[in-house]
Amino acid sequence: MEPGTTPPRPRRRDPLPYVLLVPAVLALCLALGYPLVRQLVLSFQEFGLAQQFGRPPEWVGLENYRALVTDAYLWRVTARTVVFCLVNAALTMVLGVGLAVVMRSMSRWVRLLTQTGLLLAWAMPVVASLTVWQWLFDTQYGVVNYLLTQLGADYEGHGWLLRPLSFFFVATVIVVWMSVPFVAFTVYAALTQLPEELEEAAEIDGASARQRLTSIVLPTIRPVLLVVGLLQVIWDLRVFTQIYILQEAGGSARDTNLLGTYIYRLGIGGGDFGTSAAVAVFMLALTVVLTAPYVRAMLRQERQA
């Protein structure tokens, strides 16, 4: 700056964008903030059936949390939930990304047919799809038992929902089947934006298809993979409908409870809403812990960009 010249005045920020954001922020706080605060307060109270009929709730402080910490069954359910979540999220990501990569090399009509099937599977209502899956794995009339028996395996009259391991196998098949279309569509959309020049240059340099995939394609769409992976962990951690309906169809609830169904059975089934709220707060903290690596990776990716 030359001597005697007036320094430029800093530009005043236009407050209009912030004013326009106020209604959305208020609506978000009301829709998410109030239930969260109400649940947190409830977790410090004894709230049972008597309170539903007008008796004031009793403030018990951390008693609900102390009871949970010493409850061995809660930790078994937590471990079961984490394993189920990570296995399902990993399988969904692998199958979804693989399907998206394969769709790039399909002909137009084959790709259209594949995408239509994925869209129908994704759009099918959960209860309706579970009815079909229950029929497929039915003990007496299920197609799965029939096909395995025809192949020489002893699966005639096999009860898939009676044992925890086979119960969660069926649940994993259903959850992954319903989640793969979202991953496949999202990743395929990201792959269509990938510059062809990058892969062509790598191919000219002698890179194999596997090397192009691992060194160019996947690193380029890494931000999309992080977001999709984050959503899958959150969704698979709070799976409820699939597990609950399979339990009602014949599975042992105590041996197959995840945190979502455990919270429901404590509150709605057992009338212990205070303890149920405490488990829900614990599940929220667990979600934060499991998703923290994804969030850090996304923030690191944004800083590098």
pLDDT value, residue 153: 81
Q: Identify the pLDDT of residue 12.
A: 63
pLDDT at 5: 60
- CA distance readout (Å), 117 to 54, 114, 130, 175: 52, 5, 17, 16
Tokens 């395996």 found at? 153
**SS3 letters across 214-226:** HHHHHHHCHHHHH
pLDDT of 252 reads 79
Residue 127: predicted pLDDT = 86
The pLDDT value recorded for residue 272 is 83
Return the domain boundaries, the chain.
Answer: 60-304
Cβ distance 43 to 280 under 8 Å?
yes
Distance between CA atoms of residues 133 and 251, nearest Å: 14
Per-residue pLDDT at 6: 59
134's tokens? 């229950």
Phi, psi dihedrals of residue 120, rounded to the nearest 5° = -65, -40
Residue 157 near residue 146, CB atoms below 8 Å: no
Per CATH, the homologous superfamily of domain 60-304 is MetI-like (1.10.3720.10)
Q: Which residues of the chain have pLDDT under 70?
A: 1-13, 305
The model carries a pTM of: 0.83
Q: Which residue has the tokens 């984050």?
A: 230
Q: How far is it, in rounded angstroms, from Cα 80 to Cα 197?
A: 46
Whole-number pLDDT of residue 3 = 58
